[in-house]
């Protein structure tokens, strides 16, 4: 069924089609229309789920953890401060190996208050043990939720997953979306089969005290292995989904005209759409540029980025967040995985923070800068803040 949906409506549809039995949610702009749409689905009898209207995001995640541990599929959604408030229990969800799926609408962290898009909220949770998939359009938002349940619930994975969309650019923007048939989704996902659960007939304790000589370290190691195993499961599930539902998702990195590109822009989220458009225009002028849009930040697509870097003369990494480390997160991790594999310059472009518009014109200027780095073979300034007030260079 074709419909015109916002990103948040698409997320609600993704959840509805996946049939979670318990939803616990707390409102935060710009996530609210996800949980409102789900409330309406339930109120109209279109969705059969228990809906816990919790008093905080911390409790939303805690309730999902407890419900999932009791043996049902769960779903929640949040954004920025809500995600930060969840931080403690995000670690609990992954440590407890509960395949919860959560939508996160990327929003800037205050102060000053900003409800607009910025990826610091999710980037700050990169070490929480959650799989992270970033989306580019509303179709991908819907599809990624369904795929995420299938991947996360595999008994060799059992890691929770964040399905991430940019605030407003996706969350509140309508586009045509193909809503898959419920029957097809049911066949694709199957019934939820918990690997373990709270059950009076088979009493067990979950999350008890452990001594340094106990298997704490082994539990973390198993999580690390599961995150590695997720690579092959993601590949399999995305291929299967493409086949069943007629999509064309690249599992980890969507490449656009990278094969012969001198300068490849590595991006994440909706910047990918704009950048691809700019690539077409620049290709017409004979400029050899390409885009690599990272979908999964966790697990990090190391092999894919190394392969892309092999044919390029330079890599420019665009981050819509800043981490106060050696550049921003996508840059730091990209550079880290390229070390020893590709001896080419890597430059970081930090832009669009707090929802500042990233226009085709700015992207084109960045590409030109990247091409000059590709030509010279050296990076003058490793971390470039693009589009600061009063900086004429990028306007």
List contacts with other proteins (CB under 8 A).
21-22, 24, 49-50, 52-56, 58-60, 62-72, 74, 88-89, 92, 198-200, 202-211, 214-215
Chain position carrying tokens 């929802």: 355
Min separation Cβ 206 and other proteins, Å: 5
Min separation Cβ 205 and other proteins, Å: 4
The radius of gyration computed from the CA coordinates of the chain, to the nearest angstrom, equals 21
Phi–psi pair at 257, nearest 5 degrees: 55, 45
- In this complex, which beta carbon is closest to other proteins, that of residue 34 or of residue 49? 49
Between 360-376 and 271-284, two packed helices, what is the crossing angle to 10 degrees? 60
Angle, alpha carbons 18-22-26 (nearest 5°):
105
DSSP secondary structure code for residue 325 in this structure: B
Angle, alpha carbons 291-292-296 (nearest 5°):
150
Nearest to residue 102, comparing CAs of 156, 138, 45, 141? 141
Distance CA 80, CA 136 (A): 18
Min separation Cβ 71 and other proteins, Å: 6
- In this complex, which beta carbon is closest to other proteins, that of residue 54 or of residue 124? 54
DSSP secondary structure code for residue 327 in this structure: B
Chain position carrying tokens 């409790």: 59
Min separation Cβ 54 and other proteins, Å: 6
- In this complex, which beta carbon is closest to other proteins, that of residue 89 or of residue 271? 89
- In this complex, which beta carbon is closest to other proteins, that of residue 77 or of residue 314? 77
- In this complex, which beta carbon is closest to other proteins, that of residue 73 or of residue 320? 73
Min separation Cβ 106 and other proteins, Å: 25
Q: Is 333 exposed, middle or buried, given 0-12, 13-18 or 19+ CB atoms closer than 10 A? A: buried
Min separation Cβ 77 and other proteins, Å: 16
Chain position carrying tokens 């995150």: 227
- In this complex, which beta carbon is closest to other proteins, that of residue 216 or of residue 339? 216
- In this complex, which beta carbon is closest to other proteins, that of residue 61 or of residue 275? 61
Nearest to residue 151, comparing CAs of 66, 244, 232, 268? 232
Bridge partners of 131, per DSSP, are 161
Between 80-95 and 216-245, two packed helices, what is the crossing angle to 10 degrees? 110
Min separation Cβ 164 and other proteins, Å: 23
Min separation Cβ 45 and other proteins, Å: 15
Chain position carrying tokens 């990076």: 379
Min separation Cβ 88 and other proteins, Å: 6
- In this complex, which beta carbon is closest to other proteins, that of residue 21 or of residue 257? 21
Min separation Cβ 18 and other proteins, Å: 14
Query: How many C-beta atoms lie closer than 10 Å to residue 222's C-beta?
Result: 15
Written as six digits, the tokens of 128 are: 């929480």
- In this complex, which beta carbon is closest to other proteins, that of residue 3 or of residue 72? 72
Q: How far is CA 154 from the centre of its chain?
A: 19
Distance CA 289, CA 286 (A): 9
Distance CA 343, CA 377 (A): 10
Chain position carrying tokens 């990090």: 300
- In this complex, which beta carbon is closest to other proteins, that of residue 62 or of residue 104? 62
């Amino acid at each position: 069924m074709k419909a015109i949906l916002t990103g948040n409506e698409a997320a609600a549809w993704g959840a509805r089609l996946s049939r979670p039995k318990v939803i616990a949610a707390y409102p935060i702009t710009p996530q609210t229309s996800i949980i409102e749409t789900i409330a309406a689905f339930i109120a109209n009898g279109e969705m059969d789920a228990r809906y816990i209207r919790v008093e905080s995001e911390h409790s939303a995640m805690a309730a999902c953890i407890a419900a999932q541990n009791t043996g049902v599929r769960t779903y929640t959604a949040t954004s920025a401060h809500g995600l930060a408030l969840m931080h403690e229990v995000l670690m609990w969800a992954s440590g407890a190996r509960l395949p919860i799926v959560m939508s996160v609408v990327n929003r800037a962290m205050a102060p000053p208050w900003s409800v607009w898009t910025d990826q610091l909220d999710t980037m700050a949770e990169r070490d929480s043990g959650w799989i992270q998939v970033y989306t580019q359009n509303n179709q991908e938002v819907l599809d990624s939720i369904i795929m995420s349940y299938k991947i996360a619930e595999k008994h060799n994975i059992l890691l929770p997953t964040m399905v991430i969309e940019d605030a407003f650019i996706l969350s509140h923007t309508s586009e045509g979306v193909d809503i898959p048939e419920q029957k097809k989704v049911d066949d694709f996902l199957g019934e939820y089969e918990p690997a373990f659960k709270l059950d009076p007939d088979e009493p067990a304790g979950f999350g008890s005290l452990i001594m340094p000589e106990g298997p704490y370290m082994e539990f973390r190691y198993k999580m690390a292995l599961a995150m590695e195993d997720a690579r092959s499961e993601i590949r399999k599930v995305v291929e299967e989904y493409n086949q069943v539902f007629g999509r064309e998702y690249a599992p980890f990195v969507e490449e656009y005209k990278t094969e012969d590109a001198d300068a490849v822009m590595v991006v994440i989220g909706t910047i990918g759409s704009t950048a691809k458009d700019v690539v077409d225009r620049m290709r017409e002028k004979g400029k050899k540029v390409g885009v690599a849009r990272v979908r999964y930040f966790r697990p990090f697509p190391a092999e894919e980025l190394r392969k892309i870097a092999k044919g390029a003369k330079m890599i420019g990494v665009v981050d819509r967040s800043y981490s106060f480390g050696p550049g921003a997160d996508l840059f730091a991790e990209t550079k880290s995985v390229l070390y020893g594999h590709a001896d080419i310059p890597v430059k970081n472009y930090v832009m669009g923070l707090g929802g500042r518009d990233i226009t085709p014109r700015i992207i084109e200027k960045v590409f030109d800068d990247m091409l000059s780095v590709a030509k010279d073979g050296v990076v003058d300034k490793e971390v470039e803040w693009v589009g600061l007030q009063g900086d004429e260079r990028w306007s």
